[in-house]
Amino acid sequence: MNVEKGCCQTAANENLVEEINRLKKEKNAVVMAHYYQQGEIQDVADYVGDSLALARIASRLDDARIIVLCGVHFMGETAKILCMDKKVLVPDLNAGCSLADSCPADDFKRFIEEHSGHTVISYVNTTAEVKALTDIVVTSGNARQIVDSLPRDEKIIFGPDRNLGNYINSETGREMLLWNGACHVHEQFSIDKIVELKKQYPHAKLLVHPECPAPIRIIADVIGSTAVLLKYAEESDNKEFIVATESGILHQMRNRCKGKTFIPAPPNDSTCACNDCSFMKLNTMEKLRDCLRDESPEIIVDEELATKARRPIDRMLEMSSKLGV
Ligand code: 13P
Ligand code: SF4
């Protein structure tokens, strides 16, 4: 019974992969996927990466007519801002982000007005409206280096992630003013369960995303964006790793690092051993096929807003290239 079910599922998946590949060609579409997507979506994508890589790739895509961004809404919106001449689709328009939601543009604008004379730095996990209020956008892959490259006496507002902001403050010795936002997934990791895992796997390195709160960052062996954690796992001689970020990254880690063991760090209130972003996991292979077929749902950004939101993204891309990150 199980075997039969498994075979049917495999055949169904093969059909879906074929359909998706056929539609990509027919429609001149490129599929981009974030590391937090389901493994099968990552496997069928033309490009897989962290937020920084996806923004970089989108900024350089010339030929494609359609981009399907398998990630959350702000990622599709960033791709659209960088490629206004292309149709940008997301498999599920409800794939939001709790961190982006924690920073409504009107409230952020008031915060900026109350603290005039500050350079405004925003994490890419924000709406286009927030980006339009921003001087420099950053991702977890370049935030520390970009902040560090600014003059020491430059006053900075950093939003919306208080954990990433706090991490940069402690690494650079700055006192950036922080917006009080957070990601519900990265705030969910259980320090007690991680400490238990460290006892069980005493040789394991603990890999931590900077969106995690300080108590988890303090016991980390490595802190970095998904791409940084992946690279570390690939290059390290170590054989075991505890991974404190969304569980989608484990797919690439296991694929690229045969013979190494990756243990997902568990969340607080769950019987499940790993930590999923429910928004990221709204995207499925069926929805990816349907959105290619129907050319919908589409991300629409007003031209004027896109022009304002693009400036700080371009600034990030330029600074990031100069800094080599
Ligand atoms: P990355 O910058 O590592 O891609 O992270 C994006 C994100 O949404 C983390 O929760
Ligand atoms: Fe947003 Fe957190 Fe999901 Fe990343 S993991 S997309 S920050 S809710």
Which two tokens mark 271? 């019987």
Query: Which residue positions in the chain have pLDDT lower than 70?
Result: 1-9, 270-274
Q: Which residues, listed in sequence order, are joined to residue 138 by a DSSP beta bridge?
A: 123
Asked if residue 217 and residue 167 are part of one domain, the reply reads no
Provide the strand spans (E) within 15-111. Answer: 29-34, 47-49, 66-70, 87-89
Asked if residue 90 and residue 15 are part of one domain, the reply reads yes
Give 156 Cα–ligand 1 centroid separation in angstroms.
22
Q: Is residue 31 packed enough to be buried (19+ CB in 10 Å), middle (13-18) or exposed (0-12)?
A: buried
Give 276 Cα–ligand 2 centroid separation in angstroms.
9
Whole-model pTM: value is 0.94
At 2 the pLDDT is: 34
**Residue 297: cis peptide before it, omega within 30 degrees of 0:** yes
Q: Report the atom number in ligand 2 closest to the C-alpha of 161.
A: 7
Say which CATH number the domain at 225 has: 3.40.50.10800
Protein residue with least CA distance to atom 6, ligand 1: 51
At 273 the pLDDT is: 62
Asked if residue 86 and residue 17 are part of one domain, the reply reads yes
Protein residue with least CA distance to atom 3, ligand 2: 277
| Cα 47 from Cα 251, distance rounded (Å) | 15
In a domain, 5, yes or no: no
Give 25 Cα–ligand 2 centroid separation in angstroms.
31
In a domain, 54, yes or no: yes
At 274 the pLDDT is: 65
At 275 the pLDDT is: 86
Give 1 Cα–ligand 1 centroid separation in angstroms.
39
In a domain, 271, yes or no: no
Give 140 Cα–ligand 1 centroid separation in angstroms.
6
For the chain, what is the domain count?
3
Asked if residue 226 and residue 178 are part of one domain, the reply reads no
Asked if residue 51 and residue 36 are part of one domain, the reply reads yes
Asked if residue 71 and residue 111 are part of one domain, the reply reads no
In a domain, 208, yes or no: yes
In a domain, 273, yes or no: no
> Would you say the CB of residue 142 lies under 6 angstroms from ligand 1?
no
Kindly report, residue by residue over 65-96, the tens digit of the pLDDT. 999 999 999 999 999 999 999 999 999 999 99
In a domain, 2, yes or no: no
Q: Report the atom number in ligand 2 closest to the C-alpha of 245.
A: 5
Protein residue with least CA distance to atom 8, ligand 2: 97
At 87 the pLDDT is: 98
Protein residue with least CA distance to atom 6, ligand 2: 97
Domain holding 138, by residue range, is 99-182+306-323
Asked if residue 125 and residue 72 are part of one domain, the reply reads no
At 268 the pLDDT is: 86
Asked if residue 202 and residue 173 are part of one domain, the reply reads no
> Would you say the CB of residue 98 lies under 6 angstroms from ligand 1?
no
DSSP symbols for 189-205: B-HHHHHHHHHHSTT-E
> Would you say the CB of residue 211 lies under 6 angstroms from ligand 1?
yes
Asked if residue 204 and residue 150 are part of one domain, the reply reads no
Asked if residue 312 and residue 169 are part of one domain, the reply reads yes
In a domain, 152, yes or no: yes
Give 95 Cα–ligand 2 centroid separation in angstroms.
10
Q: Which residues are near ligand 2 (CB < 6 Å)?
A: 72, 97-99, 125, 183-185, 246, 277, 279-280
| Cα 190 from Cα 294, distance rounded (Å) | 41
Asked if residue 170 and residue 192 are part of one domain, the reply reads no
